[in-house]
Structure 1
Amino acid sequence: MGTPKFMPFLIFVIFLTTLLQNSEANQFPSVHPPHKGIRAAYWPSFNTFPASSIDTSYFTHIYYAFLLPEPTTYKLNLTQFDQKTIPQFIGALRTRNPPVKTLLSIGGGGTNATVFSLMASTQLTRKAFISSSIEVARKFGFQGLDLDWEFPADAVDMSNLALLYKEWRKALDNEARISGKPRLLLTSAVYYASKFTFYGGPRAYPAWAISKYLDWASPMCFDYHGSWENFTGLHAALYDSKSNISTSYGIGSWIQAGVPPNKLVMGLPLYGRTWTLQNPIVNRVGVPALGVGPGDGVLVFHQIVNFNKRTNATVVFDSKAVAYYSYSGSSWIGYDDVRSVNLKVRFAKSLGLGGYFFWALGQDKDWTISSQASNAWKY
């Protein structure tokens, strides 16, 4: 994964401080201001964790993940599963106290990015997609729409993405005016950094369009490292002194690109990445590994807690990176726990970000991390 030239941490702090002193964040007021902050999470409909079990006291917004556009008409594909599951999801959350807003997320990491590229390529196909998304959201009672296009492949895709945001927001404004209902929220999950190079040439997100048309963008600040690499790594490090692959760099790049901090909602993982160590005695960050570890390369947080206890694993808090890792025998896991999440949320709050989100509900351990993050944000 290619990244822009490394910015030393001191310079990073200076430019963030300068940016936060400017009035840039007030140039694009949101119709839906964050107010006390966004504490969001994605609910994967394909998992077994029931929506009725969500403790809404820790969240303000819940995403239904995911629907996909049909590859020919670009209208949302409502499978029989979704037609059954969405009403259950909405019904389970509609009367909860405290209340949460629900958003329909479209896309996801396992989808065919070419379909989104083709959909966004013409005004006609964008219109079909937009109209269908609004129709489905209103039919089931969602309060917002979220795009998770992973990832626009080149400068043309990014240009078309800007047009999609613009036309989508205009359609949402018009629909709200005609229906007399509150406008649907419009959000978008994006790469952790505003510019990147992988699977193609250099490209940058349309920061101006994000600032003007979205209620917020959600940088996915995780999956920096994984078992596709032959060395151990912290997949959601807040800082990395040796590279730009870190949350602090990514969030800084978005602010530097011109997106107001209050329109950024920082992603946090409720899962870890695992490896098999080449030498169990050599067990630090960045040491040689042979491939996937427990869980075929991924363990969710409650599994990590159980693994650490069951194997009497050594648990290490990396204070420089602000992340955890544990190891037992040849098994190695990089992840977040209460302390690192607390510090990350406070980092987001100190920069004036709009909030944070988790991937994903059902992965926590008795709401341990969710409650800690919520308390850190509110207090």
Structure 2
Amino acid sequence: MLCIRLIWLPALVMMLVRNVTSTVTCDIPCLEQDAIYPHPTDCSKYCHCSWGTPYEKTCPPDLLFNDLYKYCDWPENVVCSSSSTTKSTVTDGNTSELTAIPTTQYQPPKKKVVCYYTNWSQYRLENGFFPENINPDLCTHILFAFAQIVWDPSTAQYHLATYEWNDAAMYNRVIQLKTQNPSLRVMLSVGGYSHGHEIFANASKTESTRAAFIDNVIIFLREHKLDGLDVDWEYPDGSTKSQFSALLREIRQAFERESEEAKQERLLLSAAMASGGWVINIGYDLPAITPSLDFLNVMTYDYHGPWSVPQVMRHHSALYRSSIDEIYNIDWTIKKYLAAGVPSSKLVVGIPMYGRYFIMANPKKHDIGDPFVLPEEQTYSSMPYYKICEKRKLPGWSETLHPEHQVPYGWYDDKWVGFDDVSSAQRKAQYVCNQALGGIMIWSLDCDDFSASYCGEGKYPLLSKINTVLETCSGSS
């Protein structure tokens, strides 16, 4: 009888492959030089690609391969639709007998659907959002945004802290969704745009500051029964590039040690990653940080907004390039990450559940590339999808699909809005399938029409369409 909760495969497999003498291989292509894949016919096995050769490995007794997390796990945590059985010889050294082992036809890995939950959406007077509004079957991971890093003068250390007065209770309410979807993972996201760069830089400055912070992170996550950490540092720069790499590496190492010592499932680690080339070039050592991360949530939105120079209207989350905007688009960003050696299976593409609007300089000039003006008073430039649905019903509303960017935009009165609708969400999800990427991240749950009160497209129209498309390329039911 096993005395451990699970086997973490990457480290174990690397140890075994160094001493491998078996020539048994899997009948699959190695898409990456070093990677782990499900076995094409047998859920009790997996395939480890080492230097281009797919070696067949067998899980310990009573365990099945969990493709979502790449380790051998208890059967109740694994989706494995058995379609046939094979006979395997089991021997005690004197006799042998045939034992039925469940097998299944090969299915592509299940795509991740990473959903950000915002702890401030509860305060919205119109359409307030709470954990009970989440459909847990539409997400593989829920990322609770945000926690913060604070300096504790009593211990002279940096540690995690909640933002809102009821965050701890909200953690529990989100975690309760696992009763409806046991495979759901709930992670804590720390940072965010308003959190700032300096506190991350200080907390990660030295090995000792990082060690103290990481110890606190593990305690905090375990106390609140969370499944992992999402690091949203916006953004590392040239002076903190190595600190970011070290922070992620040491968090991952600590998570692995803690899992082994506590005999618990390893805490997950992801990061919110920039979409702009400047930050990618200056702030990220991608070959160094990628091995530490389970997945990378690429924020492929907010390419443009009222902050843009020159002051011309452009879509903030275009799928493809155009003749006047070649690099601020999802395809360009993803190809840049792939060119840096990031495995496609780790890249999670961000889709905004909101649009960005501008004030047109001339309401008669409403094409992409036409000028905008700044409002007299500073206002938010984002508009949730459910509000866009309201605007689409106005008598003066017009919209069109940009033929190159493959995303819609609309205009009414003096406002111009670039957004995603069900059709563009479908195209972006299909792009993820075509590029064999890891999945889709949405920002954020509360901005979709979660109550089916505005768009006439059912509950969660954008997120539902994303799931429908990803299921066609994931082999998920």
TM score, norm. by length of structure 2: 0.70
Structure 1 residue aligned with 2:297: 218
Matches within 5 A, 1:299-318: 299-318=383-402
Residues 353 and 443, structure 2, Cα contact 8 Å, conserved in 1: yes
Which one-letter code corresponds to 1:39 in the other structure?
V
RMSD: 2.2
- Matched residues in 2 for 1:98 and 1:174: separation? 25
What is the aligned partner in structure 2 of residue 233 from structure 1? 314
Tell me the distance in 2 between the aligned counterparts of 1:292 and 1:138: 46
Q: For each residue in 1:191-236, what CA deviation from the matched residue of structure 2 results, as whole angstroms up to 9, or x when unmatched?
A: 015x4159xxx51412122331111111100000011232211000
Q: Distance in 1 between matches of 2:224 and 2:380?
A: 36
Identical aligned residues as a percent? 28
Q: Is the 8 A contact 1:228 1:291 kept in 2?
A: no
Q: Give 1:240 shift.
A: 1.9
Structure 1: how far apart are the matches of 2:359 and 2:252? 46
Which residue of structure 1 lines up, in the alignment, with residue 286 of structure 2? 207
CA contact (8 A) 1:75 1:129 kept: yes
**What displacement does 1:95 show?**
1.0
Alpha-carbon distance change, 312 to 376 in structure 1, aligned in 2, over 3 angstroms = farther
User: What's the counterpart of residue 411 of structure 2?
Assistant: 327
Deviations 1:147-192 (A, max 9, x none): 00000022x3111111111111110000000111110111111101
- Distance between the aligned counterparts of 2:242 and 2:136, measured in 1? 37
**Greater Rg by CA:** 2
Q: Deviations 1:69-121 (Å, cap 9, x if unpaired)? A: 10352200135432333223323x23123641111111111112111011111
Distance 1:100 1:276, change over 3 A: same
1:312 to 1:192, Cα distance in 2 relative to 1, 3 A:
same
Say whether 1:150 aligns with 2:234: yes
Aligned counterpart, 2:149:
69
Q: Which amino acid in structure 1 is aligned with residue 316 of structure 2?
A: H
Q: Larger deviation: 310-319 or 39-48?
A: 310-319
Corresponding residue for 1:351?
Answer: 435
Go from structure 1 to structure 2 and tell me whether the alpha carbon gap of 1:251 and 1:281 turns closer, same or farther (over 3 Å shift). same
Identify the structure with bigger relative contact order (alpha carbons < 8 Å, sequence gap 6+).
1
1:97 is aligned, of 152, 173, 181, to 181
Q: What is the CA–CA distance in structure 1 between the aligned matches of 2:35 and 2:248, rounded to whole Å?
A: 15
C-alpha change, 1:78 and 1:364, in structure 2 (3 Å) is: closer
Structure-2 separation of matches of 1:356 and 1:110: 23
Where does residue 17 of structure 1 map in the other structure? none
Q: Which amino acid aligns with 1:37?
A: K
* Stretches of structure 1 lacking an aligned partner (at least 5 in a row): 1-21
TM-score by length of 1: 0.88
Per-residue displacement from partner, 1:264-313 (whole Å, max 9, x unpaired)?
11111000001111111111011011125997311010001111213441
SS in 1 for 2:266: coil
Displacement of 1:347 in angstroms is: 0.7
Q: Distance in 1 between matches of 2:194 and 2:463?
A: 25
Q: Give SS of 2:110's match.
A: coil
Q: How many residues align?
A: 352
Letter of the aligned partner of 1:376 in structure 2? V
Q: Deviations over 1:53-76 (max 9, x none)?
A: 101221111000010110352200
C-alpha change, 1:295 and 1:55, in structure 2 (3 Å) is farther
Q: Contact 2:136–2:184 at 8 Å: present in 1 too?
A: yes
**What is the alpha-carbon distance in structure 1 between the residues aligned to residue 244 and residue 464 of structure 2?**
35
CA contact (8 A) 2:304 2:316 kept: yes
Match for residue 111 of structure 2 among 12, 37, 55: 37
Partner SS, residue 281 of structure 1: coil
The 5 Å alignment of 1:1-379 reads: 25-29=32-36, 32-33=69-70, 35-48=109-122, 49-71=129-151, 73-78=157-162, 80-91=165-176, 93-97=177-181, 99-154=183-238, 156-193=239-276, 195-196=277-278, 203-229=282-308, 230-241=311-322, 242-292=325-375, 296-365=380-449, 366-379=459-472
Task: Identify unmatched segments of 5+ residues in structure 2.
Answer: 1-28, 37-66, 71-107, 123-128, 450-458, 473-477
